[in-house]
Amino acid sequence: MPAPDFRALHGAMRMQVDRQFLPGVSTVLMQGRQVVDRFCYGYADREAGIALREDHIFRVFSNTKLVTSCAVLLLLEDGRIKLDDPIEAYMPELGARQVLRSGAIRIDDTEPARTSITLRHLMSHTSGLSYGVFDPGSVLFEAYNEAGVLNPAKPLDEMIKTLAQLPLSFHPGTQWEYSVAADVLGRLVEVVSGESFGAFLSRRIFEPLGMSDTDFWVPEAKRDRFCALYVGADLADPTKPGLTRLDDKPFPGAYLRKVPRESGGGGLVSTVGDTVRLIQSLLPDGPTLLRRETLHLMCQNQLAPGMCVQFPNMPRTPGRGFGLGSSVSIGADADEPAQIIEEVSWGGLAGTIWWMNPRLGIAAVLMTQRYFGFGNPYSIEFKKMAYQALGH
């Protein structure tokens, strides 16, 4: 077979930067565990003229969820938990839930939940919890924000107490809705392990894998490697060029100091190298973070027939199911490579993405800092061209 040719992919990513869709971009492609291509171009800080390097640190937002899922699955392997355990076995305040009635316009228009939330529900985003981010104007959006569910000053145990006072969006297991479930799982890790969430991650994941730049904050000694964050010219139209710097997302001073809440849903910063180490540890042909049977389970679609990933006010994605912490491709949606079946993937609010396809033995990581960037045209183009370059 001819050697892979990555020139077209590199050219396309350069164009994304030159046309001001991305400030800078760093990508890695893998065949098996072997890195076969690295590309880094653009700026870590456009205003200061600092060129992007592979050691720069990124806000990974929801890429944190992969780490959280691995932490929970390590506890599963330890025999400390079971996937179908009810959450009240560990956090009694989350038992006996109320659920918003269909069409409710008041937060108190509820009925008793028919079943408990299980750990499997939390890992597959079918728990009935919400986020308070993606559906402005909804009853739960207003309630979550008024209650300060995502307040970084609230440690995870306080967040659970806040959630206990709010109803669920639907009966557990009956729908898919992206939510704060991973933060609840972060608290589960604390309750079961007896450690802080961050301490458990460091001991069981970051230190063993050599992920030395992954943490919930950027200390002063590493501050010069912390990328600036940008937003596109028009959130509703990602094809409009132009970038504006953001210094206050998700809150002023974010990641520059330790905060009480170590968010399992979106709190980590990391580098492209650290992220690659994590992905490699989940691939065969070498020592793995999790057992082979656990990895197989992690990559299996957990959603009921007819259920798929769907964000508020967005089209359904019938080809995208959800496993234990990440999406699983069960079919190719529009603009996706035909060979995408069985791919496991997710991304973060600042534009970072990762995917691995165990069936084909390929994987990729893309790091950038464009707020609300995940799912923009650059990520679609990157995936299509990466599959082609890797022979698929």
The DSSP code sequence of 312-371 is TTS--BTTEEE-SSSEEESS--TTS-GGGTT-EEEE-TTS-EEEEETTTTEEEEEE--EE
What does the pLDDT read at residue 334?
Answer: 83
Q: What is the pLDDT of residue 335?
A: 87
Which residues lie closer than 8 Å to 28 by C-beta, 6 or more apart? Answer: 35, 37, 38, 39, 272, 276, 364, 365
* pLDDT confidence of residue 153: 96
Amino acid letter, residue 288: T
How confident is the model over 132-183, as pLDDT tens digits?
999 999 999 999 999 999 999 999 999 999 999 999 999 999 999 999 999 9
| CATH number of the domain within which 25 lies | 3.40.710.10
Give the structural domain span for 272: 7-65+198-389
Report if residue 281 sits inside a domain: yes
Structure tokens at 59: 């806000």
Question: Is the pLDDT assigned to residue 3 strictly greater than 80?
Answer: no
**In this structure, what DSSP letter does residue 108 have?**
T
Please tell me whether residues 235 and 280 are part of one structural domain. Answer: yes
At 241-288, the pLDDT tens digits run 999 999 888 999 999 999 999 999 999 999 999 999 999 999 988 899
Decide if 330 is inside a domain: yes
Q: What is the pLDDT of residue 314?
A: 84
| Distant-in-sequence, close-in-space partners of 47: CB < 8 Å, separation ≥ 6 | 228, 245
96 shares its domain with 50:
no
User: Which of 164, 195, 226 is where one domain is finished?
Assistant: 195
The verdict on 173 and 203 lying in the same domain is: no
Residues 311-328 pLDDT 10s: 988 888 999 999 999 999
Q: Is residue 365 part of a domain?
A: yes
Q: DSSP states of 154-178 as a string?
A: S-HHHHHHHHTTS-BSS-TTS----
* 85 and 143, same domain (yes or no): yes
> Number of structural domains, the chain?
2
Residue 1 lies in a domain: no
Q: What does the pLDDT look like over 343-388, one tens digit per residue? A: 999 999 999 999 999 999 999 999 999 999 988 999 999 999 999 9
Same-domain status, 336 and 264: yes
Predicted pLDDT at 248: 87
Please indicate whether residue 335 or residue 154 has the higher confidence score (pLDDT): 154
User: Do both 185 and 237 map to the same domain?
Assistant: no
Distance CA 348, CA 379 (A): 11
Same domain (yes/no): 245, 175: no
Please check the confidence at residue 86 and state whether its pLDDT lies above 70.
yes
Q: What is the pLDDT of residues 297-311, one digit of tens each?
A: 999 999 999 999 999
* Domain contains 2: no
Domain check: are 55 and 108 in the same one? no
Using DSSP, state whether 272 is helix, strand or coil: helix
122 in helix, strand or coil?
A: helix
Per-residue pLDDT band for 1 (boundaries 50, 70, 90) equals: low
How many contiguous H segments (helices) and E segments (strands) does the chain have? 11, 15
Q: Are 146 and 139 in contact (CB under 8 A)?
A: no
Query: Does residue 182 sit in the same domain as residue 44?
Result: no
The answer to the question of residue 40 being in a domain is yes
pLDDT by residue (tens digit) across 14-63?
999 999 999 999 999 999 999 999 999 999 999 999 999 999 999 999 99
Model confidence at 184, pLDDT cuts 50, 70, 90, reads very high
Q: Is residue 380 part of a domain?
A: yes
**One domain for residues 358 and 374:** yes
**Beta-carbon neighbour count of residue 359 at 10 Å?**
13
End of a domain among 143, 174, 195? 195
Q: Are residues 215 and 117 in the same domain?
A: no
**Among 155, 175, 195, which residue terminates a domain?**
195
Tokens representing residue 198 in the block: 């961050």
87 & 161 share domain: yes
